[in-house]
């Protein structure tokens, strides 16, 4: 199972991905599907659901602003996760 | 050719700089606009450069590294961020027109400024003059770290301390120091912005500059437009770096700049020592020519050396040298304030400036050519 973390800018996505990689948490930048992008060109990162708690803790410490967290459901739809 | 005009732009760069820029021209698309491979490659290069610049200058958050066109662009962003609402600024007597002209342009918004005039190569006098120029309505202090005319190293740490005590933000023009002198913003308490070109001692291509934002409030965008973020919003994003980076970035320039920063991050201390040796030798050689007035200091000079002939106008002298394959700059160097402080108006000076790629043999050859030229002129 995977989840997606959304950010407000590409630079934030890249910073988050770099921070998580350095913490041993593999995270892949991806361009957001229309359902999540809300008309923006912005991207998010995709990571294993099992990494989510550690990833959120790391990102909150570094003050990268997160704009949303979503589970990727088996049928490909997204479900917002309250964090 | 002997190139001694690195204060204007470094001509010789590490080979990786042009290779990276050329590769980016043919392999990079628009970062942040699309999810295809060429766009992602561009985004990676831009972010890597942002992160490496942040590490080199001690900025904790890479998003606070803003890419600009040049130091003038960075200074305009910094000055207009702090003063667009009006107020008074104190500037040193060694500022470039890239500081003075934006301040003059802001006069219609009620901005005034005081020039803290002080004698050449006297750091303590700079501190006294800046302190004396402060007023109750002063909103910021602007300091040239190294004069582009005389290479005078202004007392950045002391002015930073003064600003911190007074609760005033400091704008640092690091055009001649970034990449040569130690510059870590974590050691500065009052610095709000540090402005620099990418194409001088950071060895990037022309058309690159950096604005280090030590704060993310009171920012002022000179242009607005597409950023690849919050695209449904018609208002400009209010966060860094997007707020100050509208439109397509200079990705080939940034790719080259990344290699330049990698070079100086490895070699800065050696570059600094080498440039000091070259400058000392140039000053020594020039001082032996009786008709020259040489502006040098043992304790507070970096990278740049001005001199004047008592007979020949500095611009004419530099043109004569150009005819013999020696590249210097003559005249006012876009910094009339510095010449007023140094007593070199109205003709200005002949200026030589070195880089990591200047050799001792080139300095010797220059001295020989100049000696012959003065004899025959």
Q: Report all structural domains of chain A as residue ranges with CATH numbers, in order of start.
A: 2-80 (3.30.70.1530)
Determine contact, residues B41/B28, Cβ cutoff 8 Å: yes
pLDDT recorded at residue A41: 67
CA distance to A10, B125, B232, per residue, from A35 (Å)? 18, 62, 14
List, as one string, the DSSP characters of B180-224: TB---GGG-SSEEEEEEESSSTT---TT-EEEEES--SS---SS-
Strand ranges (E), chain B? 2-3, 65-68, 87-92, 111-116, 138-144, 170-173, 191-197, 209-213, 292-295, 304-309, 326-327, 329-331, 349-353
Tally the domains of chain B: 2
Q: Does B63 touch chain A (CB under 8 A)?
A: yes
* Residues on chain A touching B44 (C-beta within 8 angstroms): 14
State which residue of chain B sits closest to A67, comparing Cα positions. B230
Residue B23: pLDDT band with limits 50, 70, 90: very high
Tell me how far CA of residue B242 lies from CA of A12, B164, B172, B227, B257, in angstroms.
10, 28, 22, 6, 19
pLDDT at A1: 86
pLDDT for res A63: 86
Residue B272 belongs to what H/E stretch?
A: helix B251-287
pLDDT in tens, B210-248: 999 999 888 999 999 999 888 888 999 999 999 999 999
Measured distance CA(B220)–CA(B210) in Å, rounded: 16
B210, β-bridge pairs: B67, B196
**Residue found under tokens 């229309």:** A34
User: Is B217 among the domain residues?
Assistant: yes
CB contacts, 8 Å: A21 with chain B: none
Whether residue B16 is contained in a domain is answered as no
Distance between CA atoms of B306 and B297, rounded to whole angstroms?
11
Q: Is the Cβ pair A39, B232 closer than 8 Å? A: yes
Q: Considering only alpha carbons, which residue of chain B is nearest residue A63? A: B61
Say what the pLDDT of residue A42 is: 62
Q: The CATH number of the domain where B180 resides is what?
A: 3.40.640.10
**Residues, chain A:** 83
Pair B237, B63: CB distance under 8 Å: no
Q: Would B299 be classed as within a structural domain?
A: yes
Q: What is the mean pLDDT of residues B100-126?
A: 97
Beta bridge partners of B305: B352
Q: A42 contacts in B (CB within 8 Å)?
A: 32, 228-231
Distance CA B90, CA B68 (A): 24
Cα torsion at B214, B217, B222, B224 (round to 10°)? 120
Dig out the tokens for B278 from the structure.
């070259």
**Could you tell me the CA-to-CA distances from B129 to B114, B117, B132, B140, B199 in Å, in that order?**
10, 6, 5, 15, 32
Contact B231 A40 (CB under 8 A): yes
Quote the minimal CA–CA distance from A1 to chain B in Å.
22
CA-wise closest residue to B154 among B191, B126, B195, B192: B126
What local confidence, expressed as pLDDT, does residue B313 receive?
97
Domain assignment of residue B335, given as a range? 2-10+268-376
Mean of pLDDT over chain B: 97
β partners of residue A4:
A46, A70
Q: Both B85 and B219 in a single domain?
A: yes
Chain B CA closest to residue A30: B35
pLDDT confidence of residue A39: 66
CB pairs under 8 A between A and B: 65
Q: Is the pLDDT of residue B255 over 70?
A: yes
Is the pTM of the predicted complex or chain greater than 0.90? yes
DSSP code for B113: E
Distance CA B32, CA B249 (A): 10
Residues 6 or more apart in contact with residue B313 via CB below 8 angstroms? B330, B347
Interchain CB contact of B155 with A (< 8 Å): no
Same domain, B172 and B121: yes
Closest residue on chain B to A38 (Cα): B232
Q: Which of A18, A38, A41 sits opposite B51 (nearest CB)?
A: A18
Residue B198 and residue B292 share a domain: no
* Residue B37: inside a domain: no
Say how many C-beta atoms besides its own lie within 10 A of residue B361's C-beta: 9
- Encoding tokens for residue B33? 């606009």
- Percentage of residues of chain B with pLDDT beyond 70: 100
Q: Tell me if ipTM is over 0.85.
A: no
Contacts of A65 in chain B (CB under 8 A): 239
Q: Which of residues 187-226 of B touch A (CB under 8 A)?
A: none
Q: Could you read off the pLDDT of B24-35 as tens digits, one per residue? A: 999 999 998 888
pLDDT, tens digit (0-9, with 9 covering 90-100), for A11-53: 999 999 999 999 999 998 888 887 787 766 668 999 999 999 9
DSSP state of B146: B
Average pLDDT for A52-73: 93
The pLDDT assigned to B350 comes to 98
B308: domain CATH number? Answer: 3.90.1150.10
Q: Among B191, B197, B187, B159, which residue's Cα sits nearest to residue B172?
A: B191
Nearest CB to A11 within list B40, B231, B241: B241
B84/B137 same-domain check: yes
In whole angstroms, what is the distance from residue B208 CA to residue B329 CA? 21
Cβ contact (<8 Å) for B239 and A9? yes
Cβ-defined contact of B241 to A42 (cutoff 8 Å): no
Residues B293 and B345 in one domain: yes
What residue in A sits closest to B245 (Cα-Cα)?
A11
Q: Are B208 and B69 in contact (CB under 8 A)?
A: yes
Question: How near does any CA of chain A get to the CA of B232, in Å?
Answer: 6
> What integer pLDDT is reported at residue B377 of this predicted model?
85
Distance CA B360, CA B162 (A): 39
Domain boundary among B195, B213, B248: B248
pLDDT score recorded for residue B64: 97
């Amino acid at each position: 199972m995977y989840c997606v973390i959304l950010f407000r800018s590409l630079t934030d996505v890249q910073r988050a991905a770099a921070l998580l990689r350095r913490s041993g948490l593999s995270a892949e930048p991806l361009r957001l599907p229309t359902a999540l992008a809300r008309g923006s060109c912005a991207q998010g990162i995709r990571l294993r659901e099992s990494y989510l708690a550690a990833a959120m803790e790391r990102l909150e410490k570094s003050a990268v602003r997160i704009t949303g967290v979503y589970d990727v459901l088996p049928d490909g739809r997204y479900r917002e996760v309250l964090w | 050719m002997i190139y001694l005009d690195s204060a204007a732009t470094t001509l010789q760069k590490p080979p990786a700089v042009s290779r990276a820029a050329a590769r980016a021209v043919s392999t990079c698309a628009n970062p942040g606009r699309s999810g295809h491979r060429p766009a992602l490659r561009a985004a990676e290069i831009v972010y890597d450069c942002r992160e490496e610049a942040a590490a080199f200058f001690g900025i904790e958050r890479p998003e606070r590294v803003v890419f600009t066109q040049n130091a003038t662009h960075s200074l305009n962003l910094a000055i207009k961020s702090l003063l667009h609402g009006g107020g008074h600024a104190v500037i040193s007597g060694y500022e470039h027109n890239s500081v003075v002209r934006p301040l003059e342009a802001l006069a219609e918004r009620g901005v005034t400024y005081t020039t803290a005039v002080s004698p050449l190569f006297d750091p303590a006098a700079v501190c006294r003059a800046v302190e004396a120029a402060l007023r109750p309505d002063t909103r910021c202090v602007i300091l040239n770290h190294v004069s582009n005319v005389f290479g005078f190293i202004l007392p950045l740490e002391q002015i930073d301390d003064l600003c911190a005590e007074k609760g005033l933000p400091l704008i640092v023009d690091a055009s001649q120091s970034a990449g040569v002198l130690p510059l870590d913003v974590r050691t500065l308490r009052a610095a709000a912005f540090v402005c620099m070109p990418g194409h001088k001692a950071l060895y990037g291509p022309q058309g690159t500059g950096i604005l280090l934002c030590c704060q993310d409030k009171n920012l002022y965008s000179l242009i607005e437009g597409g950023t690849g973020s919050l695209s449904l919003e018609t208002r400009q994003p209010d966060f860094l770096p997007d707020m100050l980076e509208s439109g397509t970035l200079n990705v080939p320039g940034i790719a080259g700049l990344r290699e330049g920063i990698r070079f100086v991050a490895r070699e800065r201390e050696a570059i600094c020592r080498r440039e000091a040796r070259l400058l000392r030798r140039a000053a020594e050689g020039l001082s032996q020519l009786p008709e020259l007035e040489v502006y040098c200091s043992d304790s507070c000079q970096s990278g740049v050396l001005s001199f004047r002939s008592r007979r020949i106008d500095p611009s004419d002298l530099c043109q004569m040298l150009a005819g013999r394959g020696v590249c210097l700059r003559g005249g006012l160097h876009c910094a009339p304030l510095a010449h007023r402080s140094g007593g070199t108006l109205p003709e200005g000076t002949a200026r030589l400036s070195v880089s990591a790629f200047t050799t001792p043999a080139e300095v010797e050859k220059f001295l020989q050519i100049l000696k012959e030229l003065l004899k025959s002129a």
